[in-house]
Each structure stands twice: as structure tokens, then as C-alpha cells.
């Protein structure tokens, strides 16, 4: 399955009246095993990059490149369902809830190639680490629905500060 096929399959899922669309999306992401994601990616050693694959009213698909030694802010997902499939490299995902004005770690997982992470605001917040000192990590992201701003969370003195960030896709 190529990325173009994947986009076609995902669009088809939204054209049906099925109630289990998210399960079907997850299955299609699992089936994708192409290497055509490698073309036209923008890499930047100072920040993660968002490379658009597809966007419409129902969903957004993009490929993100995480530089070596990168730690993302703790962030939410703007009430969307979010799937990340690891295409290359390795990442650590930490999931959090906010409790008593502090972050409570729910889970820490090492994500292997082809693993899929699922997150939404009900599950919690998360943070992505690429701890490799040389290699970029590359992830395929699918959001249902698309969104263009979200919140990051920082602990400052005794409070958690919530900061709105606008996201653009290069
Ligand atoms: Fe995320």
C-alpha cells in the first residue's frame, strides 16, 4: 500500500455510514508498510517538522520528523483523535494527566517501528522523546478531525501554565 492508496482508503472510510470508523482507520494505518514516505520530507535539526500528506474536513494526515535528542512539550490534541505510526527511528512516549496542579505520569512506552500510538484528550496529554543522538525519528500522524492550534503545558513554580500554539504545516 502506498501513501496515495492509504489516503484513498481513509477518504473512503469517511464516505460510509459505519460506526467503527476509528477502528477501520487504525487497521488501514497498520496495513501501510510502504517506503514512499521518504520523499520530500523536510528535516530541521532545531525543531520537529510537519510535512502535509492530506487534509480535508474529516481528517489530516502528515509526516513528522523529530530531530536527534528532541523532547517535545507536553501537549493536548484539541479534542481530536490522534494516531501516530512510527516509520523510522525510535521514540519514547510519556502519557500524563494533570492532578493537583501537577503532572501525573500514566504510562511510559518505547515505541518500535510500525507501532501505532493512539491518544485523545480523554486519555490524557503526552510528550514525545527522540533520545537517539544521531538518527531522526519519523512518524505518520492522522488526526480526526484536523486542527490547527492546540495547547502545551508547562510547570512554572507551583502552577501548570497552558499555552496556546498555532500549528502550521510546511
Ligand atoms: Fe501529540
38-81 tens-digit pLDDT: 998 999 999 999 999 999 999 999 999 999 999 999 999 999 99
Instruction: Please identify which residue in the block is written with the cell numbers 521514540.
Output: 91
Kindly state whether residue 170 falls inside one of the protein's structural domains. no
Per-residue exposure over 133-152, b if at least 16 CB sit within 10 Å of its own CB, e if not = eeebbbbbbbbbebeeebbb
Identify the sign of the CA torsion 55, 5, 114, 38: negative
CA of 126 relative to ligand 1 center, distance in Å: 6
Kindly state whether residue 78 falls inside one of the protein's structural domains. yes
CA of 71 relative to ligand 1 center, distance in Å: 12
Kindly state whether residue 67 falls inside one of the protein's structural domains. yes
In angstroms, the CA 2 to CA 81 distance is 23
Kindly state whether residue 169 falls inside one of the protein's structural domains. no
The residue segments making up the domain with residue 47 are 3-164
Kindly state whether residue 155 falls inside one of the protein's structural domains. yes
CA of 77 relative to ligand 1 center, distance in Å: 6
Whether 127 contacts 110, CB under 8 Å: no
Q: How many domains does the chain have?
A: 1
Whole-model pTM: value is: 0.94
CA of 93 relative to ligand 1 center, distance in Å: 9
CA of 143 relative to ligand 1 center, distance in Å: 10
Coil/strand/helix, residue 141: strand
CATH number at residue 21: 2.60.120.10
Amino acid at each position: 500500500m502506498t501513501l496515495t492508496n492509504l489516503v484513498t482508503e481513509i477518504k473512503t472510510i469517511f464516505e460510509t455510514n459505519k460506526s467503527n470508523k476509528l477502528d477501520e482507520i487504525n487497521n488501514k494505518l497498520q496495513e501501510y508498510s510502504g517506503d514512499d514516505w521518504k520523499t520530500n520530507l523536510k528535516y530541521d535539526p532545531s525543531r520537529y517538522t510537519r510535512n502535509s500528506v492530506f487534509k480535508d474536513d474529516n481528517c489530516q494526515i502528515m509526516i513528522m520528523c523529530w530531530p536527534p535528542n528532541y523532547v517535545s512539550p507536553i501537549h493536548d490534541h484539541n479534542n481530536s483523535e490522534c494516531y501516530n505510526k512510527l516509520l523510522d527511528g525510535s521514540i519514547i512516549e510519556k502519557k500524563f494527566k494533570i492532578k493537583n496542579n501537577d503532572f501525573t505520569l500514566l504510562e511510559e512506552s518505547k515505541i518500535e517501528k510500525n507501532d501505532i500510538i493512539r491518544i485523545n484528550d480523554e486519555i490524557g496529554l503526552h510528550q514525545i522523546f527522540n533520545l537517539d543522538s544521531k538518527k531522526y525519528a519519523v512518524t505518520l500522524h492522522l488526526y480526526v478531525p484536523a486542527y490547527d492550534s492546540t495547547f502545551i503545558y508547562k510547570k512554572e513554580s507551583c502552577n501548570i501554565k497552558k499555552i496556546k500554539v498555532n500549528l502550521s504545516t510546511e
